[in-house]
Structure 1
Amino acid sequence: MSNNASPPLPAHQTKHLPALDYRFRHSLFHLAQLDNGNTNGTALWMGAQVLSAWLSRLLDKPRARQTVPSRRPRVLELGSGIGLSALALSSLGYDVLATDLPDVIDSVLAANIANNVSDLPSESGTIELRALDWTTPPSDWTWIDNAIIASTSRPTAPFTASQPCSLAPPFDLIVTADTVYSPHLVEPLLRTLQHLYTLSVTLADSEKAIKPTLYICVERRDPALVDDFLGKARKIFTVTRVPQRKVVEAMEKGGLLWAKEEWDGMEIWTFTQIRKATGKNV
């Protein structure tokens, strides 16, 4: 990476740019984006920037990386967008399952991963892409399709031995950013998070792994919507906010030296499940 690479700007200042050179630790990601209004996921959002900076600081600690000795730690990301968080987590040594809607994968995500993966550090993990539509009930999901977990717009493909799916539960880390933006998606998102967390806890017990951690980064563009989401989440999880001073420290360490007003309203929360799933929708 060039030492002259500029620190990243807040996402709202760069949405008009078709391409970004994004510095993250010792890597420089070249990211294409679209701001055509077709979908929220094809441009960079600030949540991915803040969450990536926080995870970089957090995962520097050896304890945060503990998993089973026979494999790398695994992370599943919901709403991977243009791929910043997926590339960041891979560079930190995680095997990443990046998920989004098919249109987002086809328009920006797949190309951004393909164009950057060869430049990641040698110790980086793998990145796999699969479509995951939260509105699809988990009973209709599959873990043996190399392209789709759940989609209402595309059928799943028959599994063949030549197309192995290496990344499947349990996940050591579940992350998502800027995914609380529409009232009609609150319950599907929580149902998806509940299912992924419960499944990972159950399978972690079987392989004697550490229980998964779930992080979500939200922006209070609509305070009532965020409060509704967190209120419903508390019926399923123990919900704890990451202290803002720690987020500030992570941002500064990551070179995101932004004025407070540039990222005011960004919050990172951890979810820990406190009761078994009842089988009922959230």
Structure 2
Amino acid sequence: MTTAPTNEHGAPAPVMSLRGISKRFGAVQALTDIDFDVFPGEIVAIVGDNGAGKSTFVKILAGVYTPDQGTITFNGESVTVPNPAAAQALGIATVFQDLALADNLDVVANLFLGREITHGVLDEEEMERRSWELLQQLAARIPSVRIPIASLSGGQRQTVAIARSLIGEPQVVILDEPTAALGVAQTAEVLNLVERLRERGHGVILISHNLADVQAVADRVAVLRLGRNNGTFRIQDVTYEEIIASITGATENAVTRRAAARTDQEATL
């Protein structure tokens, strides 16, 4: 995996930065001046109400949409992401909510679908070995790599989708609602996988409606509201109620009161 750059002070620099990202669809302004950073080895959650712009933003990150305005920097270099293939080539992997798995194929076939290892013929043995190796690195609980995807639980299917995203050794992994429609035990299993990604040094972007999941694994949370940034918080510095206030746009809340109190205190010094 490529080493992320550092700034002039020697501190870690973001592996990926977006500045002033805007996107319009006809008369609808979906995103306006979005700024966003993700550092290597951290989980950044993106939250917001329906219509906040999360899906549009994720598709820009993944190369599905091209922004109308703004810049994208990857490993300190200005880049464009015109399509999903370009995103993958840069080192950005995306696991969308629908997972895009082939139910009739086994785990190995899904992991290497479109990227099969061949030496004149398919090297099934090598693909199976690498499949087990990857799943073991994630401490994944899959009974067999030769079992059809249709036989797996929701959590196990999510595991396969995440493992597949790591085949190309990406630096940034985007997870779109990875725990949606999962039970308690399966959710815990997937969140463990997300933490494994952080331990491996990936920058993880987690899109979720579940604030309990966000507070359990994220390092920072970025709030989108009506297509704009509405706050970025370190998880240890923010409460559930404060995140909700930022999502809903409440102006009189603990965040604003605390900021006002600090301003008053500084004014008296």
Higher relative contact order (CA 8 A, sep 6+): 2
Regarding TM over 0.5, the answer is no
TM-score with structure 1 length normalisation? Answer: 0.33
TM-score with structure 2 length normalisation? Answer: 0.34
